[in-house]
Amino acid sequence: MACHPLAGAEGQTPVYGVDASVWPDATPRSVPSAATTTIRPATPRVSPSSQDGPASSSHSSVSPARVGPLPWTCGDVRRLRPAQDANEVATEQIRALLSRREEGGALPLFVFDAGYDPVKVQRAVEGSQCQILVRLRAGRRFYGDPGLCDPPANMGRPRRHGPKMKCYDPSTWPEPSAEHTCDDAGYGSVRVRAWAGLHPKVQNHEGRGSRGPLPNVVGTLVLVEVERLPRGERRREPRVLWLWWHGREGRTPDLDLIWRSYVRRFDLEHTFRFLKQSMGWTTPRVRYPEQADRWTWLVVAAFVQLRCARTCVADLRLPWERRYEAGHLTPMRVHRVVSSLLAHLGTPAKPPKPCGRSPGRPKGGRSS
């Protein structure tokens, strides 16, 4: 299902959302295993932590998203083990997905949340036929081409970093390399600016014995500013959104697609909530990680059936709910009426035999 994106018309860029969800283990007598991770309950990180806390299991998902009104996602789900890094597992899923896709067409765009490291992700997918878009935390600093700075007065090592750009200080921002403005019904006036050829400082964590600086990871820094938030969230003040984009060499980012793609990434979080609240993904108190894997794939398979049935059911709308066109129902609407298809699909089981006292052999009948 992940190889069949919901991108709409042929030729559009396939967009995939990448995120991880935590399955907290509420069983007090659960069997400890190599697949159980200890994390802090309120931590915003998606990678496993070594802090003490309740036993939990994380699952990484790479699902197609659609730049449109349908919040349907369904893709590859893989469990994160304690020794694994969320960035490495996500990039392994991306490479496996790219190997199964047909060659040609538009380069797929993979959208990450702020819990992922843009440097690790970009290095892992370097050379792959894809684009990445990672949200950045506030307060980051980036550097331009070192050739833009004056040469050092004294002899010494050449410069590795150019002019500094602080995300929180507009006075340090150079002129953007690209800019896009548009009007949206939900967000009002939208302004997107991009600065190409920037790189962050990369720390060498390989140990004291390693020598030589790490190469700079060059990408495009994107700033998204909106006038207001959509309906239901307009009480909050909109904040600026910093993104990191990297694609094939010589390719320029589509700024209109970038900001709309990141908005659709939240559909994956809504899918996680639907799987947990409506389909009981994290309800069972399993004792072994293999049981969690089998139950996860069973829930994903059931969600696939809902996605396939979205055009075959009629809407059963409550009086206060919004109307949707045929074939454009949400997962909750389809889940509500999918049982009505059983009468039309039939069953492979044989008709039940009558119960009660046997009438005996008919008169004149003989046993064969």
Quickly count: other Cβ atoms within 10 Å of residue 291's Cβ.
Answer: 12
pLDDT in tens, 177-197: 999 999 998 889 999 999 998
Q: What is the DSSP string of 231-287?
A: TT-TTSPP--EEEEEE-STTPPP-HHHHHHHHHHTHHHHHHHHHHHHTS-TT-S--S
Q: Which residues constitute the domain of residue 15?
A: 1-113+265-316+328-337
- Which of 9-23, 37-51, 150-164, 260-274 has the weakest average pLDDT? 37-51
The answer to the question of residue 1 being in a domain is yes
pLDDT of residue 163 exceeding 90: no
pLDDT top residue among 77 and 211: 77
- Identify whether 248 is part of a domain: no
Q: What CA–CA distance (Å, rounded) separates 288 from 274? A: 24
Asked whether residue 35 is domain-assigned, the answer is: yes
Residue-wise pLDDT tens digits, 14-25:
888 898 888 876
**Residue 305 lies inside a defined structural domain of this protein:** yes
Helix 266-277 to helix 255-264 angle, to the nearest 10 degrees?
Answer: 10
235 belongs to a structural domain: no
Per the domain annotation, does 356 fall within a domain? no
**Distances in whole angstroms, Cα of residue 100 to Cα of each of 61, 93, 307:** 16, 11, 21
In the chain, the number of structural domains is: 1
Query: What token pair was written down for 7?
Result: 């991108």
pLDDT in tens, 3-55: 555 544 456 788 888 988 888 764 444 444 444 443 333 333 334 333 333 44
Nearest to 181 by CA among 172, 193, 190, 173: 190
Query: Is 13 a member of any domain?
Result: yes
68 vs 199, higher pLDDT: 199
User: Is residue 346 over pLDDT 80?
Assistant: no
